[in-house]
Amino acid sequence: MLMERLAAHAEPMRVYVLPHPGYHNRGCRTPDYLNTLRYYRVSIATASAYGFALRKIVEGVAMGCTVLTNLPAYDRLPEIDGALVRVRGNGMVDWHEAIDEAEECWHLYGRQSWAAKALEHYDYRAVGERLDAAILAARTEAMGVTP
């Protein structure tokens, strides 16, 4: 698995590995994760084992990180896809080079702009409003009623 290989090569790449908190019923760990992210310019957030986007990708962008990911190109993230750096190779050299380049190219104002877009589009309230509108549209279309 890619994340395990990245963790094994973390030291030479100057990468801090934040272990997955596991699954439990002792509360949400998201605030701790976001607090950790605020100290970094670059975040590595791999896709799921099935190749789809996970919340950690959006959270990295929302915290101002340049997010390096192996998310397939066909899985586009609305509003923030341009903020992602998709690393094509699975070799550690590919990832090391991507990390170095992301650190060199990081720019505060650009990252703040992407973070604002992530917060605006992926905040649960915005998602709820879009979902509500889509349900209303589907219901009125199914019933043949004009809203």
Which residues of the chain form beta strands (DSSP E)?
42-44, 66-69, 84-86
Residues 6+ apart with CB under 8 A from 28: none
Contacts (Cβ under 8 Å, ≥6 apart) of 55: none
pLDDT, position 14: 87
Task: Quote the pTM value.
Answer: 0.87
Give the residues across from 84 on adjacent strands. 67
68 closest CA partner among 55, 87, 53: 87
SS3 of the chain: helix, strand, coil, percent, to 5: 50, 5, 40
Q: What is the pLDDT of residue 147?
A: 59
Averages of pLDDT over runs of 10 residues in the chain (147 residues) are 86 87 84 93 94 95 97 96 92 92 95 97 94 94 79
Per-residue pLDDT at 96: 92
